[in-house]
Amino acid sequence: MMKKVYINSVGSISSQKTFDNDEFLNDIINYHTTNISVVNPNYKEYLDAGSARRMAKGIKMGVVASKIAMDEAGVESVDAVITGTGMGCVIDSEKFVSRLIDNNEEYLTPTSFIQSTHNTVGGQIALGIQCKGYNFTYVHSSSSFESALIDAKLQLTLDEASTILVGGIDELGPHMIQVHGLIKHIKQEKTIDNLAILNSGTEGAVFSEGANFFVLSNGKENTCYAELVDVEILNTLSKERLEQQVRSFLNQNKMTINDVDVIVLGNNGDVSFDEYYSVLTNGLFKNTQHTAYKHLSGEFKTVSSFGFWLGAKMLKTQSIPQIVKLNDNAPKAIKNVLIYNQYRGENHTFVMLRTC
């Protein structure tokens, strides 16, 4: 028998103060820059100095976000650790390659090289909790997190595992900011108000970083946030076919448009690609509650894990923070949340969450 999959806990480190699970976007930070960093928790509360000293920022973020999620779920270990990352430990990669060039291929030190692989975060999490089970890292650009979700969901549904730690993690490095600025994937404005970027009318996005981890299980615990109903990824999808695709996704879950109480959209204020979201908000979901989050979190390859966090929190708390609302079609109750994301017109992901 196929088992249901539940989100039993969350751990989020983002550009907002989201690492405290008792809060839900209570105090909003507005930024005035096109590249933003996370609000760091006190890492020393979670990591001893010895193990933390070689960890780059992304590793610390991922390990601590996973600890927050595991603490909330009340579990000390899991059957598997599945991580999604678009760029991996890019800061150490940048450091290593820069030294390679600056020192004329001499004097190469091992630490940044060791830490620069994409699966370092998943490995460090497993080392920390002594999990010798399945450990996999998906590096599929902006569908990396959803790839990890699909893997976890398959294993839990088929009862090959009962508890899995799943997360998305990406860090922002100086070289990345430089090159993405040059190709204008980062907004070019000199002054910017991040809370207003969704209506900027300009090209590019505000770049950022973050780590969002979740304990998924095929057993529902008291801490349960939501049921993970379905996940789908389409690498390419035209605007013309988007509504048809959404109908098909809903059909395969025996749902209609009216069953969706809230849609979580990945608008990032890039005028060239936000039109995808407009197709849905002006069409099928015209009368649905629209929400968005990238004016709070910024954009990174696994930022949809923040959208996933938002959807799960809304379902658990049965509330929608005013700051994420794009319209006022408030539902009477939040039963089903559809999360849709794409980046620059590629890697379209659909996730359906349901109240548990």
Partner 1 sequence: MSDLKEELKGKIIEQLNLEDLTVTEIADDEVLFGDGLGLDSIDALELIVMLDKDYGIKLADPKEGKAIFESVNSMAAYIEANRK
Query: Would you tell me which residues interact with partner 1 (CB under 8 A)?
Result: 49-50, 53-54, 103, 106-111, 114
d(CA 113, CA 255): 48
d(CA 63, CA 16): 18
Please give the backbone phi and psi of residue 194, each rounded to the nearest 5 degrees, phi first. -60, -35
- Residue 103 C-beta: closest distance to partner 1, Å: 7
- Residue 87 C-beta: closest distance to partner 1, Å: 22
- Closest among 33, 40, 44 to 13, alpha carbons compared: 40
- Residue 90 C-beta: closest distance to partner 1, Å: 18
Helix, strand, coil % over all residues of the chain, rounded to 5: 35, 20, 40
- Residue 49 C-beta: closest distance to partner 1, Å: 5
- Residue 106 C-beta: closest distance to partner 1, Å: 8
- Whether residue 286 contacts residue 258, with contact meaning beta carbons closer than 8 Å, is answered with no
Please say which residue, 22 or 48, places its beta carbon nearer to partner 1: 48
Please say which residue, 53 or 332, places its beta carbon nearer to partner 1: 53
What single-letter DSSP state applies at residue 333? S
Please say which residue, 2 or 101, places its beta carbon nearer to partner 1: 101
- Whether residue 123 contacts residue 135, with contact meaning beta carbons closer than 8 Å, is answered with yes
Please say which residue, 114 or 127, places its beta carbon nearer to partner 1: 114
Please say which residue, 42 or 191, places its beta carbon nearer to partner 1: 42
Please say which residue, 22 or 106, places its beta carbon nearer to partner 1: 106
What single-letter DSSP state applies at residue 16? S
- Residue 99 C-beta: closest distance to partner 1, Å: 10
- Whether residue 201 contacts residue 189, with contact meaning beta carbons closer than 8 Å, is answered with no
d(CA 49, CA 133): 26
What single-letter DSSP state applies at residue 199? G
Specify burial of residue 256 (Cβ count, 10 A radius: 0-12, 13-18, 19+).
exposed
Please say which residue, 106 or 328, places its beta carbon nearer to partner 1: 106
- Residue 100 C-beta: closest distance to partner 1, Å: 13
> Treating both helix axes as pointing N-terminal to C-terminal, what angle do 90-102 and 57-73 enclose, rounded to 10 degrees?
160
- Residue 147 C-beta: closest distance to partner 1, Å: 31
H/E run at residue 95: helix 90-102
Please say which residue, 46 or 225, places its beta carbon nearer to partner 1: 46
d(CA 52, CA 239): 45
d(CA 27, CA 16): 8
Please say which residue, 2 or 49, places its beta carbon nearer to partner 1: 49
- Residue 12 C-beta: closest distance to partner 1, Å: 25
H/E run at residue 126: helix 120-129
- Closest among 171, 191, 156 to 79, alpha carbons compared: 156
